[in-house]
Amino acid sequence: MATIDRPRVLVIDDEEGPRQSLRIILKEQFNVLLASNVDEGARLLQDLGADAVVIDIRMPGTNGIEGLARIREIDRRISVIVLTGYGTLETAQQALRLGATDYITKPFDTHEMVRVVRRNVERTRRERQKLRLIAELRELNRRTVEEKARLEKLARLGEASAELLHDLRNPLTTIIGYTEMLADELEKKSQNEHGDWEEALRYLQIIENNVRRCRDLAAMWREGELGRRREKIHPAQLLEDVRVAVNFVQAGSPPHPVFETGESVPHIIGDRGQLLRAIHNVVTNAIQAASTTAGEVRVMTRKVDGEVEICVEDTGPGMPAEVMQRLFEPYFTTRAAGGGMGLGMAIARKIVEQHSGRIEVESRPNQGTRVRLIFPAVSPAEENE
């Protein structure tokens, strides 16, 4: 009984004798299909398939050359061996040019016939294996591209989530603190009428501003609005918002940053929420550095050659060269576990660059650190509007 993995050979010959001879010669190693003409052979190839075809060139009706074209329409990769007599050798060579893979002359040697068929069956299987491998590689490549895109999307989502968490901590800390202070003021007012309503209203305004900031951060993260909501902003307004936030967080814990706004500093164009993120992150880093050495922090603005510079200086421990090289690397931090996410400076640089600005850092061990956020100033015409 023929096993299903035995190669299949299709023999197309109009003469009964050669057909049966080939069946007898090949049946020990191959499953043999017989056809008496091209049409019958084409049907068998279409329905059952084969690993090689042996076809006689000289046949009435559709000859072997025409049959070769039919076979190639059905299976471009199958090996085709043409049978030819001595007088039709030139025709056999023509068949090779037209896509036959081998030929053998009549009368043929039995052993040579088996060798030629086996060689061509192996050739067909190699070709088909090559096609399968190519198809598998293309599918693998397609899946790899899709997976890469998926992972990049997840990475961007993860990075955005980490940035959101990092930046929400600042306004949320402010909200929590001022909410507690407001509650205390209202409790005093309800008990003895000595509470300070003006102070309570100021706390409420600060809370409202920081709630709005949290909302804007969440919207930017959800919608991908990175610096798209541009307006004319004075640096002094940005520094005042940062001062209110950090001074509460530092209440009772030095250092207390000193904020200085230079005279005649022009406006800049940008997204208020994003700019607050950048400045707040840099100032927070400076406070944390200065707190380790009982140092000081100064935040200043000034105009330099058509640009606005926001400078944050601390007298902390400074940074060695190897830390400076990794300063803007996401998730890099020199603080102990739980002390920070290592995203502040990376976020700050991204935001500054989105505003057509640049960030410059100077630092040496035991000499503190200066970070300059530099933005294009509005033109004189815009300044006067």
Q: What is the pLDDT of residues 210-231, one digit of tens each?
A: 776 666 666 665 555 444 568 8
Give pLDDT, residue 3: 45
Q: With respect to residue 141, please indicate whether it lies within any of the assigned structural domains.
A: no
Neighbour-count burial for 237-257, b at 16+ CB within 10 Å, e otherwise = ebbebbbbbbebebeeeebeb
Give pLDDT, residue 1: 38
CA 213 to chain centre: 29
Torsion angle of alpha carbons 183, 185, 189, 194, nearest 10°? 160
CATH number of 239's domain: 3.30.565.10
Give pLDDT tens digits for 335-371: 655 455 667 888 899 999 999 999 999 999 998 999 9
Give pLDDT, residue 358: 95
CATH number of 65's domain: 3.40.50.2300
Q: 270: which strand partners?
A: 231
Q: With respect to residue 357, please indicate whether it lies within any of the assigned structural domains.
A: yes
Q: With respect to residue 114, please indicate whether it lies within any of the assigned structural domains.
A: no
Range of the domain at 348: 227-384
Which of 64, 92, 108 lies at the terminal end of a domain, its last residue? 108
Q: With respect to residue 102, please indicate whether it lies within any of the assigned structural domains.
A: yes
Whole-angstrom CA distances from 376 to 75, 203, 232, 265, 306 are: 67, 34, 12, 12, 7
Query: Does pTM top 0.95 for this prediction?
Result: no
| Rounded Cα gap, residues 10 and 45, in angstroms | 8
Give pLDDT, residue 47: 92
Residue 162: burial class (beta carbons within 10 Å; 0-12, 13-18, 19+): middle
| Rounded Cα gap, residues 315 and 322, in angstroms | 19
Give pLDDT tens digits for 112-152: 999 999 999 999 988 888 888 777 767 766 765 675 666 55
Which of 108, 124, 154 lies at the terminal end of a domain, its last residue? 108
For Cα atoms 288, 290, 291, give the angle at the middle one, nearest 5 degrees. Answer: 65
**SS3 at position 107:** coil
Copy the structure tokens of residue 198: 């003006």
Cβ contacts of 346 within 8 Å, gap of 6 or more: 328, 329, 330
